[in-house]
Each structure stands twice: as structure tokens, then as C-alpha cells.
Amino acid sequence: MNTNSKIYIAGHQGMVGSAIVRKLQNEGYTNLVYRTSKELDLTDQSAVKAFFESERPEYVFLAAAKVGGINANNIYRGQFLYENLMIEANVIHQAYTAGVEKLLFLGSSCIYPKFADQPIHEDSLLTGALEPTNEPYAIAKIAGIKLCETYRDQYGSDFISAMPTNLYGLNDNYDLNNSHVLPALIRKFHSAKINGDKEVVVWGTGSPLREFLHVDDLAEACFFLMENYSDGQTINVGFGSDLSIKELAETVKAVVGFEGKLVFDASKPDGTPKKLMDSSRLRKLGWKPKIDLLDGIRSVYDSVDKSGW
């Protein structure tokens, strides 16, 4: 990419898309294109077609998606499957028809089997059953991966797929009904501290192990991959180590400064027992994360707008 290349960032207002925009701007890229969801409905095939015919971007970062935590994934199953399928199919196909030079599709670590060998290698894809609570979202993301693979095979399109681990950072979603675990914990502990609550209840047993990557590290990886990677196989983007939900909750509790009790509700689902990515392929290419989890949580907590909580 040149600094004047026309680059479309789909999902630029989301946590991942906004981080990619910041990275590109910091690198001196000036010809960035984006649309809000009100300006362009990515599930609308004709609208996406008209956008690509009009704008003719040279590069595409596909970070737009319908996303949520374990609760949202389990409740809005049809919506998550339909909307993500439509977004991926429309953007990837129109990128092909418009002659886009390169596209990066962002998936999710939930594409891998629930009981995949740990750490999870890229070859684990489609080798076992998925975690039931987020199966629709995972199936949609797998379809996006396969679209990139098959358009590369059939048409020679330079479309690549990256699978990030659990993310956190600026512009995260803090809605307690639909957010992921880390932002939900930050909000819960902050609200409990402000309200003088004696305890905070956390979903599940606290035993599942999770890996977390700051979204600014992911943006660095996406930029690196767009510049240095061209292969049909998906590539993992992870931090390299994990911790239990209990350890995560205790860390967030300390950062926020909540002094009450931590209670785990074992009646709520745990999800996949362990989900650590094998990111050795990406490390061998020369990329590695920079932001430590504790430092990352501190920076997020200090910067997030808590006025609506």
C-alpha cells in the first residue's frame, strides 16, 4: 500500500475498525474511505454494489460484523448468522468485481472446535464441533474465510483472513447484556465501587481460560499482514498466553479499586473451557504484540467514558 492508496475500512466506528483507522492515519495514509451503518447498509447487496462501483477502493479491511458476548450470541442466533453472512458475502464479492487489489477479512477465534487441541493451530479449523452458544456466529465467520479462500482459488483474488483472539480496547462495547467478558467486568466493578456494593457476581465458574489482545496490537498486526502476508490459509493473531476468568476478574477488580467480594454464578454458561491461539506462524513472519494485559486494562479503564454507567 502507498500512503495515497484508496483504502476502505468496513466497520470503522467499531473497536477493531477504529483501531485500524488510527493505525493507518499514524502511518501517514490519507485516502481512507468509510461509511456509517446509516450511510451504507452492508447487508444490502445493491447498496454495497453501488458503493464499490462508485468508490473503487484499492484495499479493503473488512472489520464490520454483528458482534457480542456469550449472552448476545446465544439469544440473537438467527440475527448473528444472517447479518454476518450478508456483510461478508456482499463486501467480499463486490471487492472482487471492483478489482480490489487486496482484502483482509477479520474472523474470530470462535471458529475453532470447542475442544480443539491447545494452543489452537490454524489447521484445527473444521476438525470438530463448535461451542453451541456461539455456533451461528462461528459458522458465519467460517463462511467468510471460505469465501476468501475460494475467490483466491477461482479468481486469483488476493484475499486473506486473520483470526484474532479475544479483544479489548478503545471503543469497546460496555452494554452488560451484549458485551464481552472484559468490558463487562470493568463496568460491573466500576459501578459496584461507585454504588458501594458489597459484592460483584460474575457469570460461570471462573475456571475457563482465555487469551486477551489489545485492539491496538491487532491493528498493528492487520497492517503488518496487509503488507507482508499473501496466503490462502487463515492466520491466527493472539497474545501468546492466557489466564482464567477468575484471574481476569481479580485483575480488573484491583485496577478498578473495588474492595468487595467476588462471587461466581455457576448456573450461568462457561463456554469453551480453554481457548489459546497458536500464533507461531505470525510470530515467525516478524510480528509480536506489545501491550501487556495489566497495562492495557489500566489504560482502557482510565480512558473510557463512564458517565453513562
Q: Annotated binding residues for substrate, as ranges? A: 188, 203, 210, 270
- Whether the CA torsion 295, 300, 68, 71 is positive or negative: it is positive
Asked if 189 and 256 touch (Cβ cutoff 8 Å), the reply is yes
- The residue from 29, 137, 151, 168 that is catalytic is 137
User: Would you list which residues are annotated within the binding site for NADP(+)?
Assistant: 11-17, 106-109, 141, 164-167, 180
Concerning whether 229 is annotated as a catalytic residue, the answer is no
User: Would you list which residues are annotated within the binding site?
Assistant: 11-17, 106-109, 141, 164-167, 180, 188, 203, 210, 270
Query: Following DSSP, what letter does each residue of the chain receive, concatenated?
Result: --TTS-EEEETTTSHHHHHHHHHHHHTT---EE---TTT--TT-HHHHHHHHHHH--SEEEE-------HHHHHHSHHHHHHHHHHHHHHHHHHHHHTT-SEEEEE--GGGS-TT--SSBPGGGTTSSPPPGGGHHHHHHHHHHHHHHHHHHHHH---EEEEEE-EEE-TT----TTT--HHHHHHHHHHHHHHHT-SEEEEES-S--EE-EEEHHHHHHHHHHHHHH---SS-EEE--S--EEHHHHHHHHHHHHT--SEEEEETTS---SSEE-B--HHHHHHT------HHHHHHHHHHHS--TT-
**Smallest Cα–Cα separation from 272: which of 113, 154, 123?**
113
Q: Which residues are catalytic?
A: 137
